[in-house]
């Protein structure tokens, strides 16, 4: 008598569709803040530096959640952990939708940040339940819908805020996430946990979160002015202490969240430095542009509403999405170093040009498209290049380090932009002076240009 072999469980279009719609809703929730940031600053009566925190709390949580989510999914099952995360994200969206002040909104943003873990968990599920030839198609669909959700959020933030209120920018996507998660619970089968080597680096995750939050909050309080030197020193000590503690924990952890030992390799830390500089520069300029679109003052500024800002940001969002696919191709054809050098040079030139050319909307839109495109190509080329510079078993560690660096760089850029504008705010008008924008654009350009010199020097040292 022959034994009956159980057929492997497969998922169909309803399950893939639910994952795709969920990615669309998550991308929308993640992106509504950017075009509405000037509006949120006015409604909550906060400074540009405090406003930057609204966007950065999602990035900070995401930087920690991204490497942890996959391990949790392997240990407890992708579906179970995905549902847990969506419960947290939904609570964050609803809390932000009800937020009466900045602290409550920030808490909602912190909870929403775990949405970054949804993508690796979705990939776990499609890999388990689809044949190889269909997995790539499903992964591409999920990523494309997440990117598309980002564009949807950019466009609907203004109409929702102006027709209803800014609270609905967060509440409606959160409601969509809740509904889609309920569908996913019914149509997606439970997956079995996989054997997991090593534990989860919770101390490292807590210390990294604390260091990043201390840095962002420190930039806010320092730029307000009026702090005694001892208080400023205390902030610096707190940031340095948390960072040093994180480094110690990561070096000793059996299964670190970010394996810092990889930084001993010249190719790795060259890539980390360049990734940080490119994303920090693009984040700084993106924040300055947002504020410049919204500010209304004699001689500069445009006084645009959230809907208009969203429309002007859309070309840059499209350029950034396209650049991710172009970067890998360019790296294969011309080499990662050539792509990064050309891209960083173009970024520096564009940023410095903005210091004097920022009086017309088309100048800012064109600059944002160029910066988003070359930054996307450059960071993707670095990711592609590092996969050939390290051993196969270390590719995951190396690329995760660059992904975390990319998120941290963007967050730092936003916060530095907020700090520059807050420090340059006229106390009589409550508006940043035009000179503060010029300082910000110039700073971003000079740092981008200097990074090329740093890489050249370190490259010579590595050869020697």
Can you give the pLDDT at residue 459? 59
Can you give the pLDDT at residue 219? 72
Can you give the pLDDT at residue 157? 92
Can you give the pLDDT at residue 336? 78
Can you give the pLDDT at residue 3? 45
Can you give the pLDDT at residue 247? 83
Report the 3 state secondary structure along the chain: CCCCCCCCCCCCHHHHHHHHHHHHHHHHHHHCHHHHHHHHHHHHCCCHHHHHHHHHHHHHHHHHHHHHHHHHHHHHCHHHHHHHHHHHHHHHHHHHHHCCCHHHHHHHHHHHHHHHHHHHHHHHHHHHHCCHHHHHHHHHHHHHHHHHHHHHHHHHHHHHHHHCCCHHHHHHHHHHHHHHHHHHHHHCCCCCCCCCCCCCCHHHHHHHHHHHHHHHHHHHHHHHCCCCHHHHHHHHHHHHHHHHHHHHHHHHCCCCCCCHHHHHCHHHHHHHHHHHHHHHHHHHHHHHHHHHHHCEECCEECCCCHHHHHHHHHHHHHHHHHHHHHHHHHHHHHCHHHHHHHHHHHHHHHHHHHCCCCCCHHHHHHHHHHHHHHHHHHHHHHHHHHHHHCCHHHHHHHHHHHHHHHHHHHHHHHHHHHHHHHHCECCCCCCECHHHHHHHHHHHHHHHHHHHHHHHHHHHHHHC
Can you give the pLDDT at residue 395? 63
Can you give the pLDDT at residue 393? 56
Can you give the pLDDT at residue 225? 62
Residues of the chain with pLDDT under 70: 1-12, 131-136, 140, 191, 193-199, 223-227, 257-259, 297-299, 324, 387, 391-397, 400, 454-464
- Cα–Cα dist 436/292, whole Å: 11
Assess contact for 326 and 71: CB atoms under 8 A: no
- Cα–Cα dist 440/454, whole Å: 21
Give the model confidence (pLDDT) of 197-248 as tens digits.
566 777 877 887 788 778 777 777 776 666 677 777 888 888 888 888 888 8
Can you give the pLDDT at residue 301? 85
Give the model confidence (pLDDT) of 266-296 as tens digits.
778 888 888 888 888 888 999 999 999 998 7
Tokens of 40: 């949120």
Phi and psi, residue 358, nearest 5°: -145, 30
- Cα–Cα dist 424/444, whole Å: 16
């Amino acid at each position: 008598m022959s034994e009956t072999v159980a057929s492997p469980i497969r998922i169909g279009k309803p399950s893939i569709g639910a994952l795709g719609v969920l990615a669309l809703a998550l991308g929308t929730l993640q992106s509504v803040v950017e075009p509405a940031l000037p509006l949120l600053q006015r409604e909550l009566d906060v400074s540009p530096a405090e406003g930057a925190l609204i966007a950065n709390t999602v990035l900070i949580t995401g930087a920690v959640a991204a490497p942890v989510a996959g391990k949790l999914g392997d240990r407890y099952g992708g579906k179970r952990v995905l549902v847990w995360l969506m419960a947290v994200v939904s609570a964050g969206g609803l809390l932000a939708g009800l937020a009466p002040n900045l602290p409550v909104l920030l808490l909602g943003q912190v909870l929403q940040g775990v949405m970054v873990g949804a993508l690796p968990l979705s990939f776990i599920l499609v890999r388990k339940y689809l044949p190889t030839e269909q997995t790539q198609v499903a992964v591409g669909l999920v990523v494309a819908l997440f990117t598309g959700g980002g564009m949807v959020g950019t466009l609907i933030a203004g109409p929702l805020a102006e027709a209803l209120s800014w609270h609905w920018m967060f509440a409606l996507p959160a409601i969509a996430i809740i509904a889609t998660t309920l569908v996913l619970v019914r149509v997606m089968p439970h997956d079995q946990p996989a054997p997991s080597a090593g534990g989860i680096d919770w101390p490292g995750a807590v210390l990294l979160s604390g260091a990043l939050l201390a840095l962002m909050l420190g930039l806010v309080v320092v730029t307000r002015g009026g702090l005694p030197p001892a208080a400023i020193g205390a902030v610096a000590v707190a940031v340095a202490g948390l960072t040093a503690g994180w480094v110690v924990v990561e070096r000793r952890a059996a299964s670190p969240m970010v394996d810092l030992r990889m930084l001993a390799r010249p190719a790795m830390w060259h890539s980390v430095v360049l990734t940080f500089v490119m994303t920090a520069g693009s984040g700084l300029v993106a924040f300055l542009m947002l504020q410049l679109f919204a500010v209304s003052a004699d001689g500069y500024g445009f006084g645009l509403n959230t809907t208009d800002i969203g429309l002007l940001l859309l070309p840059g969002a499209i350029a950034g999405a396209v650049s991710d696919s172009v970067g890998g191709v360019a790296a294969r054809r011309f080499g990662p170093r050539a792509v990064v050098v050309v891209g960083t040079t173009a970024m520096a030139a564009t940023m410095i040009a903005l210091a004097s050319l920022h009086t017309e909307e088309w100048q800012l839109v064109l600059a944002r498209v160029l910066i988003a495109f070359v930054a996307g190509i450059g960071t993707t080329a670095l990711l592609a290049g590092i996969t050939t510079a390290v051993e196969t078993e270390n590719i995951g560690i190396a690329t995760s380090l660059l992904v975390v660096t990319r998120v941290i760089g963007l967050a730092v850029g936003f916060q530095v932009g907020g700090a520059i504008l807050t420090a340059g705010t006229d106390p009589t008008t409550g508006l940043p002076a035009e000179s503060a924008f010029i300082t910000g654009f110039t700073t971003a350009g000079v740092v981008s240009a200097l990074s090329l010199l740093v890489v050249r020097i370190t490259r010579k040292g590595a050869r020697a």
